Copies of this chain bind each other. A is one copy, B any other.
Amino acid sequence: MYAIIGTWKMCYDGLTAGHALLAAGGTAADAVEKAITMVEDNPAYSSVGYGGLPARDGHVLLDAGWMDGETLRYGGIMAAENIRNPIRAARLLCGRETNCLLAGRGAEQFAVSAGLPLRDMRTESAMARWRETAQTFRPGDPLTAYRGHDTVCVLALDGAGRLIAGTSTSGLFMKEPGRVGDSPVVGSGFYCDGRYGAAAATGLGEDVMRGCLSYEVVSLMRRGATPQEACEEALRGLSSRKLALGEDAGSISLIALSPAGAFGAATTLDVFPFAAGSPEDVRLLAARQGDGRMDIRPATAEELEGEP
């Protein structure tokens, strides 16, 4: 058995490449790295890696996380610049016992010392959009999650039964310098326990962290929930608390994968597209608000239209 699941339409090509690695007997770690680096390298995706939209000072700040379900070890970089493939830095940091989570210049120095390629992550297109927005942006203006894409999260299970979780993002457009979202934060942006399952989150990181949602999903799977039940219950828990506080449900989507290769997805959005691969094929699916529970079916052309 092997399986792979990733967030948003934008992960489809990478997921297909990761799926091919798994089909050829490759490891979950190589499949996750392959899938995410393809999204990072593609300048069309303005919420991840090269071409990501900058913070309000015009710098592109990268967050990424990695966790290995066999060792319960993780790695992460936060608010880091110039690292061509943040996910590769996070993967390498996962091999350490201390100094696994590095912020800012420290993360960049680590990438250099590890021989990872650097790159100016600012594209003309992203900087043009920043210049335009910066003309009218005021410090108190609200920040919102992207529409139709955001953090790329990939979970994979390989033939040897190893589970891996990875995440990568350039974070909210016009965020404050140094702002860190949920993506590099263990338990919020991702969590992976080889015994019980893996989970990851995309959307407004500040809200995801209030509920430690990825850990909560895996914790529910540990107590017997299916990945689908766990995603729905974890999201329902936080959403109901937010509603009780007079807030709206916000913009949060979750994915999960079990050690048996079963997957789940849930969202507070009208529709959340994602891709999932099993030994049969890789498919573009969508989670939608159903009647009391999530409706998971193939994404329609209409639902994918206009999305990067």
Q: Enumerate A89-113 residues with CB–CB distance to B below 8 Å.
A: 96-107, 109-110
Contact with B along A173-195 (1 / 0, CB 8 A): 00111111100011110010000
* Chain B residues with CB under 8 A of A79: 103-104, 106
- Given B71, B103, B179, which contacts A245 in the complex, CB threshold below 8 Å? B71
Q: Which of B71, B78, B204, B210 contacts A72 (CB 8 A)?
A: B210
* A209 contacts B by Cβ under 8 Å: yes
What CA separation (Å) do A160 and B187 show in the bound complex? 30
CB distance from A205 to the nearest CB of B (A): 8
Expressed in whole angstroms, the minimum distance between the Cβ of A274 and any Cβ of chain B is 24
If A104-B105, A212-B212 touch, whether A180 touches B78 (CB-CB below 8 Å) is yes
> Residues of B contacting A188 with CB < 8 Å?
186-187
With A78-B103, A100-B206, A209-B101 in contact, do A176 and B110 touch (Cβ < 8 Å)? yes
Report the interface size for chain A: residues with CB under 8 A from the other chain.
46
For A216, the chain B residues whose CB sits under 8 A away are 215, 219
State the Cβ distance, A211 to closest chain B Cβ, in Å: 7
Instruction: Check A74 for interface membership: any CB of B closer than 8 A.
Output: yes
Is A98's CB under 8 angstroms from B187's CB? no
C-alpha spacing A79/B101, complex, angstroms = 11
Flag whether A129 is at the interface (Cβ < 8 A).
Answer: no
Copies of the polypeptide in the assembly = 2
Q: When the two chains form their complex, are residues B109 and A206 in contact, meaning their CB atoms are under 8 A apart?
A: no
Interface status of A241 (Cβ within 8 A of chain B)? yes
CA A57 – CA B103 in complex, angstroms?
15
Known A109-B177, A187-B188; judge A73-B103 contact (CB<8 A): no
Q: Which of A178, A209, A215, A245 has the most CB of B within 10 A?
A: A178
Tell me the bound Cα distance from A178 to B100 in angstroms: 10
**Residues on B with beta carbons closer than 8 Å to the beta carbon of A292:** none
B residues in contact with A204, CB < 8 Å = 98
Residues of B within 8 A of A99 (CB): 143, 175-176, 179, 206
Can you list 14 residue pairs at the A/B interface with Cβ under 8 Å? A72-B245, A74-B210, A79-B104, A79-B106, A101-B179, A102-B179, A102-B180, A104-B178, A105-B178, A107-B178, A109-B178, A187-B209, A215-B215, A215-B216
- Given A185-B186, A216-B219, 7 other A-B contacts at CB below 8 A? A72-B210, A72-B245, A78-B78, A98-B204, A107-B178, A186-B212, A187-B209
Which 9 pairs across A and B sit closest by C-beta, in order of nearness? A106-B178, A187-B212, A104-B104, A106-B177, A103-B103, A99-B176, A212-B215, A102-B178, A79-B103
